[in-house]
Amino acid sequence: MLQRISRGVLVVAGALAAPFALADLEQRINQQAEQLQAQVIAWRRDIHQHPELSNREFRTSKLVAEHLEGLGLKVRRGVAHTGVVALLEGARPGPVVALRADMDALPVVEKTGLPFASKATGEYEGKTVGVMHACGHDTHVAILMGAAQVLTGMREELPGTVKFVFQPAEEGAPKGETGGASMMIAEGVLENPKVDAIFGLHIGQHSLAGAASYREKGFMASAQRFDVHVQGRQSHGARPWAGIDPVVVASEIVGALQTIVSRQIDITQSPAVVTVGSFQAGVRNNIVPETATLSGTIRTFDPDVRLAIHKKIRRIATNIGEAHGATVEVEIDPGVPVTYNDPRLTAQMLPTLKRVYGANNVYHSGRVTGAEDFSFYQEQVPGFFFFIGGRPPGIPPEDAVSNHSPYFDIDEAALLPGVRVMSQLAIDYLSAE
């Protein structure tokens, strides 16, 4: 008769036995990950060459689902439009851990010159745009596909359940659509069975392959999109006094918005960012247009600061518009909350990170003003989100290419430890007392 006295240790007819030692499982994870390395790289390159925008990840999700079904897992397709969720039930009962990867690409024209560079195009906000995996989500998907295969090979040793979550639209659903983590949650991704903890990672050039970084509590910023619509009065460019120039109004708004962080927020207490990323107006050089539109992003770590910035954007924009006789409307979406790493879970899983990457290669990070909708999962269950390095060798830190750049690329040596760490986090969490 078998009786569990702690996860990973069984009593057999009154004698203590360990049918699976964690050290043995770790060795198996390493061996299987190494055997899969070439396949994981091939998946990454295929996904990179065929990127898809948010809520349009049809090819990617098909590739993922067919792989997971081929492993014999229980697979749900079409979650939150194109999401894929697979369930690996271990041989013995235990907790449920979720591993998440995001699948979507960005409206960016790739300029890396890679042999597998994207030449894809798509439609974004009514325009035909280039599409590129400029944020590394291709690597996230390939890593989790590899981890799913590694862990499936350990089904008999698993004391619990692993849920693989391949999520669309992390970069944000197109305007007028729903999607991403919040929609995955609404469609039950954390239920049936109920998830006890969730893990996710993100690659970047902040460090070389073979390094990782983390932060407990508030790690990445909350983010909201804002749109400012300026309604002027069209006129001939030779007679601007006959109209109300929305370009001038919008330009003043752009300048004034920069004073919010530089002059109106105590950034010694809480970092904040207000960035205008899009300015659209007019179709011809000698016509004062009727409208102009600004779009931008707000990044904060404190909810009171976030609300204060929202008020300041509305006040500045509408008052400048009124001063010129223009009408201004401001839209600010709900966005995503702060990516908050549960302190207890972070402390519990930090040894795993250090075992995989080496203690000298794991760094405590400062706050990151990037944002992640992984934060929605963390509002529901304890979550641990961390960064892995992927800067190609030969590139000094000061020349590191930012995510979302058309030149963004990663060192594929980062994929192997990525597979190892996602697999090991699952094993260690399920096997903990």
What's the token pair of residue 261?
Answer: 């962080």
* Whole-number Å distance between alpha carbons of 196 and 191: 10
Task: Report the pLDDT averaged over residues 215-222.
Answer: 98
* Residue percentage of the chain with pLDDT more than 90: 94
**Could you tell me if 371 and 266 lie in one domain?**
no
Rounded Cα distance between 200 and 102, Å, is 9
List the CATH number of the domain containing 250: 3.30.70.360
- pLDDT value, residue 12: 36
98: left (phi over 0), alpha (psi -120 to 50) or beta: beta
Which of 302, 332, 362 lies at the terminal end of a domain, its last residue? 332
Give yes or no: residues 205 and 276 share one domain: no
Select from 391, 331, 386, 326 the least CA-distant residue to 356.
386
CA distance 201 to 209: 14
Name the catalytic one among 26, 52, 104, 428: 104
Residues 208 and 273 in one domain: no
Judge if 125 and 23 occupy the same domain. Answer: yes
The answer to whether residues 68 and 143 belong to one domain is: yes
Tens digit of pLDDT for each residue in 321-371?
Answer: 999 999 999 999 999 999 999 999 999 999 999 999 999 999 999 999 999
In three-state secondary structure terms, 228 is strand
Mean pLDDT within 417-425: 98
Does 21 have pLDDT greater than 90? no
Q: Are residues 158 and 106 in the same domain?
A: yes
Catalytic pick among 102, 110, 157, 170: 170
Output the domain CATH number for residue 86.
3.40.630.10
Structurally, the chain folds into a number of domains equal to 2
420 pLDDT higher than 70: yes
Cα–Cα distance measured from residue 76 to residue 85, given in angstroms and rounded to the nearest whole number:
5
Please give the average per-residue pLDDT across 310-325, as a whole number: 98
How far, in Å, CA of 118 to CA of 232, rounded?
40
Is 387 within 8 Å of 204 (Cβ atoms)?
yes
Kindly tell me the sign of the dihedral angle through the C-alpha atoms of 48, 52, 53, 55.
Answer: negative
207 and 263 fall within a common domain? no
- State the Cα–Cα distance between residues 339 and 377, nearest whole angstrom: 9
What are the tokens at 255?
A: 């300048």
Name the average pLDDT for the chain: 94
- At 395 the pLDDT is 93
Q: Over pLDDT 70: what percentage of the chain?
A: 95
Mean of pLDDT values over 390-401: 95
- Of 332, 360, 382, which residue sits at a domain end? 332
pLDDT band at 303 (very low <50, low <70, confident <90, very high): very high
- Do 232 and 212 sit in the same domain of this protein? no
Task: Name the residue range of residue 245's domain.
Answer: 222-332
Shared domain for 272 and 211, answered yes or no, is: no
Same domain, 101 and 182: yes
Q: Per residue in 274-311, is it b (16+ CB within 10 Å) or e — as a string?
A: bebeebebbeeeeebbbbbebbbbbbbbbeebbebbbe
Residues whose CB is less than 8 angstroms from the CB of residue 117 and which lie 6 or more positions away in sequence, other chains included = 48, 49, 110
pLDDT in tens, 43-84: 999 999 999 999 999 999 999 999 999 999 999 999 999 999
Q: Are 113 and 70 in contact (CB under 8 A)?
A: no
Question: Quick one: pLDDT band at residue 248, thresholds 50, 70, 90?
Answer: very high
Q: What is the pLDDT of residue 1?
A: 32
User: Known catalytic residue: 170?
Assistant: yes
User: In whole angstroms, how far apart are CA 203 and each of 82, 128, 372, 410?
Assistant: 22, 27, 12, 8
Neighbours of 76 (CB within 10 A): 16
Residue 23 is predicted with a pLDDT of 85
Beta bridge partners of 213: 363, 387
Would you tell me how many other CB atoms lie within 10 Å of the CB of residue 164?
A: 26
Angle, vertex CA 166, rays to CA 353 and CA 90, nearest 5: 65
- How far apart are the C-alpha atoms of 132 and 109, rounded to whole Å? 6
Does 91 share its domain with 175?
Answer: yes
**pLDDT value at 9 more than 80:** no
Confidence at residue 22, expressed as pLDDT on a 0 to 100 scale? 78
- Can you tell me the distance from the alpha carbon of 339 to that of 384, in angstroms, rounded to the nearest whole number? 9
In the predicted model, what is the mean pLDDT of residues 112-129?
A: 97
Verify that 62 and 192 share a domain, yes or no: yes
Active site residue 177: no
Domain boundary among 332, 362, 377: 332
pLDDT of residue 433: 62
pLDDT in tens, 133-185: 999 999 999 999 999 999 999 999 999 999 999 999 999 999 899 999 999 99
Residue pLDDT, tens place only, 29-46: 999 999 999 999 999 999
